[in-house]
Amino acid sequence: AAIRVISTIIREPLFDELRTKQTLGYIVSSYYDLGFSSPPPGLPYYSVPVDFLVISVLSKKLAPTEVASRIDDFLVTFREQLEAMPQSEIDQYTTALSTKLLKPFQKLSSEAGNQFGKIERYAPEVGSSELPWNSVESLAGAIRHVKRQDLVSHWDRLTHPSSRARVVSHVYGTTHPLDSKRIA
């Protein structure tokens, strides 16, 4: 639940710092995503959920390595913002996010896609239990109870170099070509 709240809170400050103040590029965005991984060898098959905080910056102004460095700098300062954020402000985010999650579907295709996603996610475990059809309600309830310390400790696990797992994709172009000396 904490990563979902973090992904909501970080959106505006990230855009403000990297797009508005530093003018890194036209596109600066962040969002939460969920993926699935296979279990380690030797364990019975099940899908392992993996939470992602995705940050995207498209820049012609700076080379990809410099953009990544600026994102890393922002991530360090964002922790300070989380620590200083009043619980009342965090509560506003958690209330808005849980309300958004519980909003009824407006289109049948959206609801069908959501339910199919649950089937796809939990299919390997169906033999041993029921599908958790109320997972959104459970998540919304957990989000409502997130506190500042939950966010800071989750942030530390998410971003600390000793514990984080990250994928960085650099795309080079004619403005900032890849230095062939760096390819080894």
Q: What are phi and psi of 176, to 5 degrees?
A: -130, 80
Confidence (pLDDT) at 125: 59
Q: Is the pLDDT of residue 171 over 60?
A: yes
How far apart CA 51 and CA 166 sit, in angstroms, is 11
Confidence (pLDDT) at 44: 62
110-157 pLDDT, tens digit each: 888 877 777 766 666 555 556 566 678 888 889 999 999 999 999 998
In this prediction, residue 19 has a pLDDT band, given cuts at 50, 70 and 90, of very high
Residue 134, SS3 per DSSP:
coil
